[in-house]
Amino acid sequence: MPAFPDTHGHFGDFGGKFVAETLMPALFELEQAYKEARRDPKFHADLERYSREYVGRPTPLFFCANLTAKLGGARIYLKREDLCHTGAHKANNALGQALLAVRMKKERISAETGAGQHGVATATFSALFQRACEVFMGSVDVERQALNVFRMKLLGAKVTAVDSGTKSLKDAMSEALRDWTATVRDTYYLIGSAAGPHPYPMIVRDFQTVIGREARRQIVKHEGRLPDILIACVNGGSNAIGLMYPFIKDKNVRMIFVEAGGLGINGPSHAATLTLGTPGVLHGNRTLLLQDELGQIRDTHSIAAGLDYPGVGPELAHLRDSGRAEYAAVTDAEALEAFRLLCETEGIIPALESSHAIAYTAKLAPTLPKEQVIIINLSGRGDKDMNTVARALGVPLREGG
């Protein structure tokens, strides 16, 4: 059994359940259903079968010979979550929770989304399991991510634009929680990262640990031992905790969280919550947040749309505070450079989010002895980012061209 969270959903000073009273029974029902599912061999068998036959697991662990030679230091491996169906690690969590929704006999699934990746994953599994699906998305993101909105609609989901606040992910999540208070009886709220009120951070982590369990087996096969360093990009923290949790007791394995430094952490345009956040309550849990002295949430920025939530999952906040994990911020410019580096050295187009982890590795690896072993979580593929990258590189791209 995992040490964290405790029975109230606390990870050290972080986590918990700060929600409207109407949601307390729903969270309790979810926790009970999840505990029962975890003990049920049929649930595990279903999860295993869809993971294999539909998501495409296990994903490969790939040794990057070219990148390793180019950087001239530690040996670098990629955990290829970009090869999951729908293009990112988000599928692992959406599958697990959609199976819970079916088990709980919920006819409707709701979700929040920022860039649209979690919305697409949720719409995908709602179609597979024949549930109604509604995705809440900030109206600015609806404009910016038109292609993912179209994908969700093709998959049968209703996409509801949210016009409050900064009209982005934070506001979409607030609206999804508000909607849930009115629809708890027939709706399963499928949260997209290791964030929100207990038991979500635990549930999302557990479904994502398939990444780390596979990686552990695979690296032992390749290298005959555990890795020295694990590196992942962090927003809510689901891909990072998914890779790293199965190594948490291996004190010699360093864990490094890489977050969005945007235009630089000395200015206002970034999403560096682990570096600059302070404790506060948002979306049902106590965690680190980017906020002003009055607790107003600050505007965030990252070239990676999936990294600009102004908070972080409570377990990651705790891993930072306890000193078990290290953290760093990478700028937009560094992430773009790393994006091109992986394209050119390995023939793999990474998501801009994952490019942050690659950028940090590109700085760290050359300083390390050649026997050291690094695993990077390649959380997603970059196809969704073509327009953003083209614009950043000053290359004109015709729509559909």
Q: How far apart are CA 189 and CA 126, in angstroms?
A: 12
Q: What is the footprint of ligand PLP within residues 59-98 (CB under 6 A)?
A: 88, 90
Single out the residue of 310, 311, 316, 313 nearest to residue 298, CA to CA.
Answer: 310
Q: Which is nearer to ligand PLP, 193 or 285 (CB)?
A: 193
Q: What is the footprint of ligand PLP within residues 106-145 (CB under 6 A)?
A: 117
337-371 burial, b at 16+ Cβ within 10 Å, e below that, comes to ebbebbeebbebbbbbbbbbbbbbbbebbeebeee
Query: Is the bond into 279 cis (omega within 30 degrees of 0)?
Result: no
From the CB of 65, what's the least distance to ligand PLP, in Å?
Answer: 24
Which member of 215, 380, 385, 388 binds ligand PLP (CB under 6 A)?
Answer: 380
| x/- map, 304-323, ligand PLP, by CB under 6 A | --xx----------------
Q: Which is nearer to ligand PLP, 184 or 272 (CB)?
A: 272
- The DSSP H or E segment spanning 198 is none
Token reading at 174: 């607030």
379 touching ligand PLP, by CB under 6 A = yes
Q: Which is nearer to ligand PLP, 99 or 115 (CB)?
A: 115
Which parts of 276-386 are beta strand (E)? 278-282, 285-289, 325-331, 373-378
Number of residues lying near ligand PLP (CB under 6 A) = 18
* Contact stretch for ligand PLP (CB under 6 A) within 24-32, 124-132, 179-187, 346-354: 346-354
Cα→Cα distances 139→170, 225, 255, 391, Å: 12, 48, 36, 21
User: Among residues 64, 84, 133, 233, which one is catalytic?
Assistant: 64
Cα→Cα distances 181→20, 23, 134, 193, 369, Å: 8, 6, 15, 20, 54
SS3 at position 244: helix
Which member of 239, 273, 300, 345 binds ligand PLP (CB under 6 A)?
Answer: 239
Sheet containing strand 75-80, strands side by side: 61-63, 75-80, 373-378, 229-233, 254-262, 325-331
Which member of 233, 297, 325, 365 binds ligand PLP (CB under 6 A)?
Answer: 233
8 Å CB contact between 5 and 201: yes
From the CB of 95, what's the least distance to ligand PLP, in Å?
Answer: 15
From the CB of 238, what's the least distance to ligand PLP, in Å?
Answer: 3
8 Å CB contact between 351 and 381: yes
Backbone angles phi, psi at 223, to 5 degrees: -110, -10
From the CB of 370, what's the least distance to ligand PLP, in Å?
Answer: 29
SS3 at position 131: coil
The residues that bridge with 11 in the sheet, in sequence order, are 14
- When CB distances to ligand PLP are compared, the closest residue is 380
8 Å CB contact between 223 and 373: yes
Whether 198 is catalytic? no
Which member of 215, 351, 373, 374 binds ligand PLP (CB under 6 A)?
Answer: 351
From the CB of 241, what's the least distance to ligand PLP, in Å?
Answer: 8
| x/- map, 268-307, ligand PLP, by CB under 6 A | --------------------------------------xx
What does the radius of gyration of the chain's CA atoms come to, in whole angstroms? Answer: 20
246 touching ligand PLP, by CB under 6 A = no
Whether 44 is catalytic? no
SS3 at position 385: helix
Q: What is the footprint of ligand PLP within residues 167-206 (CB under 6 A)?
A: 193
Which member of 5, 9, 237, 311 binds ligand PLP (CB under 6 A)?
Answer: 237
- The DSSP H or E segment spanning 305 is none
* Contact stretch for ligand PLP (CB under 6 A) within 13-21, 56-64, 181-189, 350-358: 350-358
Q: How far apart are CA 54 and CA 47, in angstroms?
A: 10
Q: Which is nearer to ligand PLP, 59 or 193 (CB)?
A: 193
Which member of 68, 354, 355, 388 binds ligand PLP (CB under 6 A)?
Answer: 354
User: Among residues 10, 84, 89, 133, which one is catalytic?
Assistant: 89
From the CB of 319, what's the least distance to ligand PLP, in Å?
Answer: 13
- Footprint of ligand PLP on this chain (CB under 6 A)? 88, 90, 117, 193, 233-239, 306-307, 351, 353-354, 379-380
Catalytic sites, residue numbers: 64, 89
